[in-house]
């Protein structure tokens, strides 16, 4: 396992972090606890030192399952990160109440990295007004958290403002081959590194999109002298960045765990060559020329009040566009038959307010419906 260290605080970590947002599930949608625990412990046994969860993952059940997985001495082997659900914070007192609830679910007396979850301009403003700083200071004083952190989804300028607002020890940002100029961007990552704030990466595979590339992308990778899978190419883009400490992978089955472990076992931080940089630029251009929604499938837009399965519609449509000559009509017809299609949209925009990518969801739904029902 490629091991890493967080700057300033000298906390040992691993380049691969186990993200617990996409744990295996049973047919009814519940977490398959036995398999999830087996996967998490296998990762830790093989060198994973960073475990990431959040209050909202899997409908609030991820933290509980992670707490079970870390019993039996596993808690002492890892740094544990979870997140304050800022959208549920209505008063200053709510922050400590939610933290205490999370500590109980995780069956631990402290959180290593405690993040303000999915900060953007509006949410950040609200947290400042509710005095998040004094909450963090008090939680630190009581020993309930060790390293104040935040995760981020908004524009670069907002990221820079938040980054300089408090003595953060870590920031979690979205970055992958396609997002070098989006959200915090490469400039934001470099500024965090300059300040000594460790960077943790989310969505390294863009919700799995980079793991199953179109044929011309596969051919471009295959033609390159160094042979790597699309997943390994995506991870290499990130683990060679000196500012990046840990890359989260939301692994959903044991095969993914084994594949990720193998990749990070042979990973090195050797810089990317100029030829590799050009390859990444070509790959990015190919993807962006075909994609419409750029949905990562995070499901923050769910549940929809009308039952519309927005991530299924968006990611399915993008994946169809990436396959030349593909048609989304058959897949959309099944969504219609299930009563989960875009015709039910009432434009309440609850989904848009929740979307960390700030996608124009209502407009996309209307456009995809028009194409799919034509």
| Domain definitions of the chain by residue range | 3-288, 310-373
Lowest mean pLDDT among 101-115, 135-149, 266-280, 338-352: 338-352
Asked if pLDDT for residue 198 goes beyond 70, the answer is: yes
Task: List pLDDT tens digits, range 328-372.
Answer: 888 888 888 889 988 999 999 999 988 887 899 999 999 888 888
CA distances (Å), origin 124, targets 116, 129, 181, 352:
9, 9, 21, 17
Alpha-carbon span 65 to 24, nearest angstrom: 11
pTM summary value: 0.87
Q: Return the pLDDT at 323.
A: 66
Task: List pLDDT tens digits, range 5-41.
Answer: 999 999 999 999 999 999 999 999 999 999 999 999 9
- Percent of the chain scoring above 90 in pLDDT: 81
- Bridge partners of 248, per DSSP, are 17
Task: List pLDDT tens digits, range 203-258.
Answer: 999 988 899 898 899 999 999 999 999 999 999 999 999 999 999 999 999 999 99
Q: Return the pLDDT at 324.
A: 54
Give the residue among 281, 306, 284, 321 at the shortest CA–CA distance from 362.
306
When pLDDT is cut at 50, 70 and 90, the band that residue 290 belongs to is confident
Report which of residues 207 and 187 the model is more confident about: 187
Which CATH number is associated with domain 3-288?
Answer: 3.20.20.100
Alpha-carbon span 62 to 17, nearest angstrom: 15
CA distances (Å), origin 268, targets 1, 177, 234, 239, 241:
10, 18, 14, 8, 11
Q: Contact at 8 Å (CB) between 158 and 127? A: no
Alpha-carbon span 42 to 59, nearest angstrom: 24
Alpha-carbon span 246 to 240, nearest angstrom: 11
Residues 6+ apart with CB under 8 A from 346: 305, 306
Q: Return the pLDDT at 273.
A: 96
Q: At what angle do helices 230-239 and 215-223 cross, to 10 degrees?
A: 70
What tokens were used for 359? 């996608």
Q: What share of the chain is helix, strand, coil (3-state, %, to 5)?
A: 50, 15, 35
Task: List pLDDT tens digits, range 74-91.
Answer: 999 999 999 999 999 999
Give the residue among 15, 76, 20, 77 at the shortest CA–CA distance from 239.
15
């Amino acid at each position: 396992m490629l091991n890493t260290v967080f700057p300033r605080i000298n906390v040992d970590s691993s380049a691969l972090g186990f993200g617990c947002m996409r744990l295996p599930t049973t047919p009814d949608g519940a977490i398959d606890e036995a398999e999830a625990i087996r996967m998490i412990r296998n990762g830790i046994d093989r060198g994973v030192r960073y475990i990431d969860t959040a209050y909202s993952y899997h409908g609030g059940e991820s933290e509980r399952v992670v707490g079970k997985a870390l019993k039996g001495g596993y808690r002492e082997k890892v740094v544990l990160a979870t997140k304050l659900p800022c959208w549920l914070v209505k008063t200053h007192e709510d922050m400590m109440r939610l933290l205490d609830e999370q500590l109980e679910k995780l069956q631990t007396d402290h959180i290593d990295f405690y993040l303000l979850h999915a900060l953007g301009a509006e949410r950040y403003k609200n947290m400042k007004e509710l005095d998040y700083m004094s909450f963090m200071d008090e939680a630190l004083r009581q020993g309930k958290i060790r390293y104040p952190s935040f995760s981020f989804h908004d524009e670069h300028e907002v990221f820079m403002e938040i980054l300089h607002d408090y003595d953060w020890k870590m920031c979690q940002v979205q970055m992958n081959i396609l997002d070098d100029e989006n959200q915090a961007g490469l400039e934001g990552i470099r500024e965090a590194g300059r300040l000594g704030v460790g960077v943790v990466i989310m969505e390294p595979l863009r919700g799995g999109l980079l793991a199953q590339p179109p044929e011309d992308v596969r051919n471009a990778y295959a033609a390159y002298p160094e042979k790597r899978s699309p997943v390994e190419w995506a991870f290499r883009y990130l683990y060679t960045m000196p500012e990046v400490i840990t890359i989260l992978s939301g692994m959903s089955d044991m095969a993914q765990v084994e594949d990720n472990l193998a990749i990070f076992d042979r990973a090195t931080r050797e810089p990317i060559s100029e030829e590799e940089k050009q390859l990444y630029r070509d790959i990015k251009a190919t993807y962006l020329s075909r994609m419409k929604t750029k949905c990562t499938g995070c499901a923050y837009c769910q549940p929809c009040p009308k039952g519309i399965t927005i991530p299924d519609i968006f990611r399915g449509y993008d994946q169809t566009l990436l396959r030349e000559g593909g048609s989304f009509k058959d897949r959309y017809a099944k969504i219609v038959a299930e009563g989960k299609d875009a015709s039910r949209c009432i434009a309440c925009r609850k989904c848009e307010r929740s979307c960390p990518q700030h996608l124009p969801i209502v407009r996309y739904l209307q456009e995809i419906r028009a194409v799919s029902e034509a």
